[in-house]
Amino acid sequence: MSFTGPSIGSGGRREAHEFGRTHVVRPKGRHQATVVWLHGLGDNGSSWSHLLETLPLPNIKWICPTAPTRPITLFGGFPATAWFDVGELSEDAPDDVEGLEAAAAHVANLLSIEPADIKLGIGGFSMDAATSLYSATCFIHGKYENGDLYHANLSAVVGLSGWLPCSKNLKAKIERHDEVARRVASLPILLCHGKGDDVVPYKFGEKSALALSSNGFENMTFKSYDGLGHYTIPEEMEEVYTWLTSKLGLDSR
């Protein structure tokens, strides 16, 4: 989580991981926005594509990629689909920066072929809310940790039941020149978290929201849900629908 602990970079050469199948939900109406939605640990793009297809958002094209299958330290090295490695779910656990960078680059590449007049967004659940938020910091910074430019022009970021990776480095990452300050103040971010979450505790979502707001993210919204565990509910998805419609300027249903 790295609210207080270190981050791990690419100190050694790692094995490259192959991304799985990408599922696409085509817009049923006028195409106004494209959102890459990322699944959680051990899941795949198909499951979320079926849920997203039911939302009354006919103007969004949903891209639901599948993460690589990789050994997961949290599982004792047992392989699972994951965008990055997770050692433990604690506040001082180190972040797998190399894995996060690869995931953010994959998402940006998926968005790079969209038409210029289409608004772009990223969303995710659990550890992949973390990937979405990491992508947001790359967009704000204009580049990845390794110095490569980040090309996707994001208009909305959604994170459900997740956390902000590398949060302790956020202040240093968002250098205060005019363009970065403009992006920080204007990028719409929606965070939602259940107070009954026993997988990614509610305090991680709460602290992530605090880290963002205290660093100038004025267009960030944090929603909490009493009794909600590590899953989503219609009330939460209704919030996502309403928020995306507003922030992306979509035609109303």
Catalytic residues: 126, 197, 230
Separate counts of helices (H) and strands (E) for the chain: 7, 11
Closest C-alpha to 152, from 183, 192, 190: 183
Whole-angstrom distance, CA of residue 138 vs CA of residue 180: 11
User: In degrees to the nearest 10, what's the CA dihedral of 112, 113, 119, 124?
Assistant: -60
Largest CA distance in the chain: 50
Instruction: Compute the distance between CA of residue 169 and CA of residue 129 in angstroms, rounded to an integer.
Output: 18
Token code pair at residue 224: 């909490």
In 10 A of CB 84, how many CB atoms? Answer: 26
- Segments in 62-177 forming alpha helices (H): 97-112, 127-141, 170-173
